[in-house]
Amino acid sequence: MILLSDPRVAAVTGADDGEELVDLRELPELRLDARAADPAGAYARLRQGVADRLLAAQRSLPAGLRLLVIEGYRPYRAQLDIFTGYQEVLRRSHPDWSPQRVYRETTKFVAPVEVAPHSTGGAVDLTLCTDDGVEVEMGTAVDATPEASRNACYTAAPSIGAAARRHRRILVDALSEVGLVNYPTEWWHWSYGDRYWALLTGAPHTRYGPI
């Protein structure tokens, strides 16, 4: 398992092809949940190439299922606040852990700002729902932490039930087929064009840089 704290992620050459962000609120084909909504509407924005891939992935889903997008672009300050907040929770909960372990465990749930996929507009948190918007069983809630879920948030977690395992497999198959990569400690997190994607796919550089 490669974590976002791995030095190989930060070592990927950065580049940006200039692709625009699109507002998913203007794409009625995709369902957008408002739980992560911010006043500026950043949560609803993704790079055009990612939005196109989500539309293609949705077309491959079994009848009766749709993608439900939770969050796309996340500005630097929001990313930093989430990272430092969770890092402090772990530090207080595990006073015996070294600073290095606290940092590594933090990156299982939230990316360091210098390599954060969401801040490129190339990452998306999402789940599956029915045609009428009811979320299906995925084993944990979106954004469940490894600590709270006892690692059931890991995409390949063996502890989840059969229905959740089946739904995760549907999500993995659909999104992998269109070129997105998953962060294995978060079944809901997928990205394209960022440093993590470049490392996993062998791309020579990123397609998207921080915005």
As a residue count, the chain comes to 211
Confidence of residue 92 (pLDDT cuts 50, 70, 90): very high
- Quote the tokens at residue 59: 């077309």
The mean pLDDT of 18-28, rounded to a whole number, is 97
Q: What would the pLDDT profile of 111-154 be if each residue is shown by its tens digit? A: 999 999 999 999 999 999 999 999 999 999 999 999 999 999 99
- Quote the tokens at residue 119: 């801040």
Give a three-class secondary structure readout of 46-80.
EEHHHHHHHHHHHHCCCCCEEEEEEECCCCHHHHH
In degrees and rounded to multiples of 5, residue 52 shows phi and psi of -60, -40
pLDDT (0 to 100) of residue 119: 97
Q: Please, are residues 165 and 171 in contact by the beta-carbon 8 Å criterion?
A: no
- Quote the tokens at residue 94: 């595990």
Q: What would the pLDDT profile of 150-173 be if each residue is shown by its tens digit? A: 999 999 999 999 999 999 999 999
